[in-house]
Amino acid sequence: MASTERADDASTAEKDSERHFAGAGSGAAESRPLSASQRHVFYFKVSGLSVRDELLLRSMVCVLDKKTHHEWRCRESRPQLAIVHSKNNPGPENISNPADSSLAMMVGDMGVDEGLRLRLPLHPADLEAKLNRAGSIILGRLAADEPSTETASSPHEPVPSHAHEEKKSIPADPQEPGWNDRLQLSRWPAAPLLASPRHVKAATLLLKMPMTMSKICEFSGLTQDECTRFIEKLRQNMLLQSPDTKKINGSILPDAANNQARIGLLARIRLKLGLKP
């Protein structure tokens, strides 16, 4: 699962204040300063580079940590960004380890400086710009409605995506096992994930108590496909947690006699205020 973390508040605030945003080829939108709360931690891995280049690249990433929009940490397992030498990965059909990364950054001697391609020899300004661009793409993917099957940088770049694998774990059909498993949100999602009032309702339900996807659809008005995609995005953003059974069993619920009266009351309030059930 793709993982993002919010950097430690104190340290990111410091980093934020020290950031200069030299630009270095990144677009205007990418150069906007991010607040500490908007800075995420992303993971990358390096493969196929010479020992010298790999060491240099990692060192540069550390040095650039004061300037990049997001914090980048090296990790071998399930990175969000794979930095790969072009000789090992010349095209989308020849991906060395597709399950490892959802986004690939090519490194090598290339004639055209486009997308997420890093030139050799490495240059800090180029690396900073490309990391910023990669961060934007990863964030965009997490928030996007569409399945993450393409990069924003270049259609020719390999797109090994573990999102495909995770999507299989979200049942899209009520007949599939798991459709009636209870899900719960750990906290309120970021605004880009809440594409419509129905998504807002679904998030409200998932926060209130553990819910099955069928119940979410019933109460929110989301279609099954929309619900499946929404849950997948929540999962990618690490917003799902183990169901808290206390939320069901510990709630003070009205007794059966009062239940009907309460349902009627809520319906009358909706009717009066013009709120659709």
**Applying CB under 8 A, which residues contact other proteins?**
6, 35, 37-38, 185-191, 197, 200-201, 203-205, 207-209, 211, 215, 219, 248, 251-254, 257-259, 261-266, 268-275
Half-sphere exposure of 143 (CA within 13 A, CB side): 14
85: DSSP letter: E
Q: At its nearest, how many Å lie between other proteins and the CB of residue 59?
A: 31
At its nearest, how many Å lie between other proteins and the CB of residue 268?
4
Helix, strand or coil, per DSSP, at residue 133: helix
Distant-in-sequence, close-in-space partners of 14: CB < 8 Å, separation ≥ 6 = none
CB of 38 to other proteins, least distance (A): 7
Q: Closest distance between other proteins and the C-beta of residue 89, in Å?
A: 35
Contact by Cβ (8 Å): 192, 206: no
> 117 in helix, strand or coil?
strand
DSSP letters, 3-52, are: --EEPPHHHHHHHHHH-----TT--HHHHSPPPGGG-EEEEEEEESS-HH
Collect all residues with Cβ–Cβ distance below 8 Å to 96 and sequence separation of at least 6.
47, 48, 84, 88, 89
When the beta carbons of 31 and 186 are compared against other proteins, the nearer one is 186
Taking the complex as a whole, the smallest distance from the CB of residue 10 to other proteins amounts, in Å, to: 14
- Rounded least distance, CB 37 to other proteins, Å: 5
Alpha-carbon distance 161 to 138, whole Å?
Answer: 11
In whole angstroms, the minimum distance from the beta carbon of 47 to other proteins comes to: 33
Shortest separation between residue 81's beta carbon and other proteins, angstroms: 22
**Closest CB to other proteins among residues 5, 114:** 5
> CB-wise, 99 or 269, nearer to other proteins?
269
Residue number with CB closer to other proteins (77 or 251): 251
Can you tell me the distance from the alpha carbon of 16 to that of 134, in angstroms, rounded to the nearest whole number?
18
Q: E-assigned strands of 96-202?
A: 104-108, 117-119, 184-185
Task: Name the residue nearer to other proteins (CB basis): 62 or 253.
Answer: 253
Q: By C-beta, is 29 or 191 nearer to other proteins?
A: 191
Query: Alpha-carbon dihedral of residues 178, 180, 184, 189, nearest 10 degrees?
Result: 80
Cα atoms in the 13 Å half-sphere on the side-chain side of 11: 9
Structure tokens at 189: 């999602």
Nearer to other proteins, 35 or 94 (CB): 35
Q: Which of 20/187 has CB closer to other proteins? A: 187
